[in-house]
Chains A and B, each alone.
Chain A
Amino acid sequence: MTTSGNPLRDPQDRRLPRIAGPSGLVIFGVTGDLSRKKLMPAVYDLANRGLLPPGFSLVGFARRDWEDEDFAQVVHDAVKEHARTPFREEVWQQLAEGFRFVPGEFDDDDAFETLRATIDELDKARGTGGNFAFYLSVPPKFFPKVVQQLKKHGLSQGPGDSWRRAVIEKPFGHDLASAQELNRVVHEVFEPVDVFRIDHYLGKETVQNILALRFANTMFEPIWNRSYVDHVQITMAEDIGIGGRAGYYDGIGAARDVIQNHLLQLLALTAMEEPGSFHPKALVAEKLKVLSAVELPEDLGKHTVRAQYAHAWQGGEEVLGYLEEEGIDPKSKTDTYAAIKLTINNRRWAGVPFYLRTGKRLGRRVTEIAVVFKRAPFLPFESGATEELGQNALVIRVQPDEGVTVRFGSKVPGTSMEVRDVTMDFAYGESFTESSPEAYERLLLDVLLGDANLFPRHQEVELSWNILDPIEEYWDKHGKPAQYAAGTWGPAEADEMLARDGRSWRRP
């Protein structure tokens, strides 16, 4: 099973990709959106790139009256529609033989017995070797039930030295207490090293590139501190509403849905010190250090904002306000927009605010990290010459149009001295592949390989809740969400929040 003894493996042979060993994937909630739009296409794309082991099997578990063939048809349609790589019949044939479907509810013992029989059958027919990952693509309230059922039916432990892993999706709880409870429940059944928490942002090339940008180069690190950085803005904007996710979204809100995981992970990667190595332990140690140094503003009312999108015209379409969405309580206080200010108490960052914002139905879909630098302390130009000069900035565009932009001043051609902002651009699509792998491909492969580097550990999750909990508590007790017209860049209150510090939001 080990690769060290394999004579065909040679560390110098870098053409050979990492292929997962014999294994299979069980998806709970396989009829969901995530499963159809991301997981199934990712499985196909991995197979198409030749990264899945021969005999790889996919088991769907859901409350549908389906046969294996019906399931295969659903996967087929999902792959045709959403896969990144072209559809190839021979790849499909390789995969399709390993599709199984188990109908049932999560409290249905018979269904889990069927699941176990299915897994045993796959071990025999497909050579999966007892290695299975259980992907819980279900609302978190079902997590305890599902993991308990897995334990009860002997599915959480494989035979011999085979592995069983659990993959869970956000939200990892809705506050610190619930996150701890969830961790306890899951860890009761699976060892902490066998639990993979998916934060799909960490699977993105651009996010992994933050570390390369910072630690492989010399020109950025010297200015990556309070002496040169004025502030940092981390934005994740979506242009869609809550769609059909009312049941999930109401009561959770933007801050819990996005800030707690994605934005705080981006903050950690942007602000952390250099790790001793890229070993998972070294990396997580640095992330934990910086997350525990995060401090909240004293006056939460002045430095945090939450809001809900209101009925308006967005990009040529008339869209409903959040409170008018189907399934939402008209008196709901759930935030669809959240902006918070954080500081980091260490020598590198003391006094540098980190502004985090996220929202639905904003101007366009964009995620970016903008490091905004201080103005030059002295400008030897005539007044007026630098009127159009803004602050220098380095923007890491996480999605879409992945890349890095540097903004700086440049002389406008002509006889007079006039300096204006220009940008210098590095685009992934230009310098590397047009089709870099989807985050889920990378993460699914890492799960099958057992590589935990790109998955937040439970300590990180708990620290993140530590940061967010006081804010949520404050919001619960004080006031109600502001309103912003759908399709704009958030409420006026958010602009005021930055104006108080003498700053303004970038238009991403």
Chain B
Amino acid sequence: MKIDLTNTTSSKINSGLIDARRAIGTPAVGMVLTLVIVTDEGNAYDALKAAGDASHEHPSRILAVIRRPGRSPRDRAKSRLDAEIRVGSDAGAGETVLLRLHGELADHAESVVLPLLLPDAPVVVWWPEDAPDNPAGDPLGKLAQRRITDAAAAEDPVGALRLRAGSYSPGDTDLAWTRITPWRSMLAAALDQKHSAISAAVVEGEPYNPSTELLGMWLADRLQVPVERRVSDGPGLTAVRMTTADGTICLDRADGALAELAMPGQPDRRVALKRRETAELIAEELRRLDPDESYRSAVRFGVDRLGAQPPQDGSAAQPPSGGAQKKAAPAKKAAEPARQSADSGAEKAK
């Protein structure tokens, strides 16, 4: 069922939630967390759909904060809170409140959200796009244990990674990192088997795909070998090659679904590595709410320490955007220490 409240307050929304639950006859609350989605009118639908699907695994109270500061000075002067309460079958396995913040209120979202948080339950904030430069410093981000950003949705995805590295606080995480969990687990499983020492690695993916950089940084950080980022046509990540004395360990996914794992001295095997929907990514994010140390370590390794070769003849047929990508991650000082790049990121964040 849906309840629309116009020109309302948080306390009216709270009683609205109780009324709505009573009306559908399920007064018990089994929700495990509050998920705050900070979005705009254009993205709200997709984000809510993904969160609603994820709520089947993690029943939550979903608060969608939709900012509408207004285009005209007249609109901006009037502040108003409108809310739409959804419970029951309209709201996945929890309850959803859409909060539309008009006028000046758009700058004070935390005042609306705070009274609506579930008692004694973790808070997760998710910015499907337009994440603040410093999520932990954001007024809404401060309310949360877990802050989810998405570098892939940024105008400059690689730059976004630098920003994340600079402003990292425990509890930060990024969907570009979530997207590579299947790759990481498959690569880890491959190295569970006997293999000789790895001397170098290459990650290939389409341009503007920060997951490729993150996977490269993770490999470089864990393996302590030079890792090169190459641009391919995609979709998404397409391959990881690790050089060993016996040959190359290669995980190659050309079509975005089925990959081939090749290891020296072993038959080639196919493994399913499907690109996942946002709902699955959010569900994975909500599974653990403690700080993700591996993400910290990978993202702070520093994008600029990844080797990027000038386009080879083989990949010269890249679209121009691919070339631009190469320049965007310049080899200005490939060996610049991570700390330094992290600091520069932090400065940008301020």
Contacts of B315 in A (CB 8 A): none
- How many A residues, CB 8 Å from partner? 45
Q: Which residues of A contact B184 (CB under 8 A)?
A: 8, 13, 15-16
Residues of B within 8 A of A17 (CB): 185
* In contact, A12 and B59 (Cβ under 8 angstroms): no
Interface SS majority for chain B: mixed
Q: A90-B257, A90-B258 are in contact. Are A55 and B93 (CB under 8 A)?
A: no
Alpha-carbon gap, A432 to B31, bound state (A): 8
CB <8 Å contact, B294 and A12: yes
When the two chains form their complex, are residues A7 and B191 in contact, meaning their CB atoms are under 8 A apart?
Answer: yes
Pick the contact of B267: A1, A19, A125 (CB < 8 A): A125
B245 at the interface (CB under 8 A from A): no
Say whether, besides A15-B284, A55-B267, A1 and B57 are in contact (CB < 8 Å). Answer: no
Given A426-B30, A434-B56, CB of A12 within 8 Å of CB of B293: yes
| Secondary structure call for the A interface | loop
Pairwise interchain contact B271-A94, C-beta atoms closer than 8 A: yes
Does B59 lie within 8 Å of A47, measured CB to CB? no
Q: Could you tell me if B193 and A129 are in contact, using CB atoms closer than 8 angstroms?
A: yes
Which residues of the other chain, A, contact B31 by a CB distance below 8 angstroms? 430-431
Which residues of A does B touch, CB under 8 Å? 1-3, 6-10, 12-17, 19, 21-22, 47-48, 50, 53-55, 88-91, 93-94, 97, 124-127, 129, 425-427, 429-435
Cβ of B261 < 8 Å from any Cβ of A?
Answer: yes
- Cα A14 to Cα B19 in complex, Å, equals 40
Give, as a whole number of angstroms, the nearest-CB distance from A51 to chain B.
9
Does the CB pair A8–B222 fall under 8 Å?
yes
- Pairs across A and B, CB under 8 Å, 13 listed: A8-B184, A8-B222, A12-B294, A15-B284, A15-B288, A19-B192, A21-B192, A50-B272, A55-B267, A94-B271, A124-B267, A430-B30, A433-B58
Inter-chain contact B57/A433, CB cutoff 8 Å? yes
Q: What residue in chain B is nearest A424 (Cβ atoms)?
A: B28
User: Do residues B186 and A9 form an inter-chain contact, with CB atoms below 8 A?
Assistant: no
CB distance from B275 to the nearest CB of A (A): 10
Binary flags per residue of B264-281, CB closer than 8 Å to A gives 1, else 0: 001101111110000000
Min Cβ gap B141→A in Å is 21
Whether a CB of chain A sits under 8 angstroms from the CB of B223 is: yes
List residues 187-212 of chain B with CB under 8 A from any CB of chain A: 187-194, 198
Bound-complex Cα distance A2 to B194 (A): 9
| CB-based nearest A residue for B257 | A90
Are A434 and B272 in contact, with the CB atoms below 8 A?
no
Pair B193/A434 contact, Cβ less than 8 Å = no
What is the CB-to-nearest-CB distance from B72 to chain A, in angstroms, rounded to a whole number?
45
In Å, the complex CA distance between A241 and B166 comes to 64
Known: A125-B267, A434-B56. A16 touches B191 (CB 8 A): no
Of B58, B188, B273, most buried by chain A (CB within 10 Å of CB) is B188
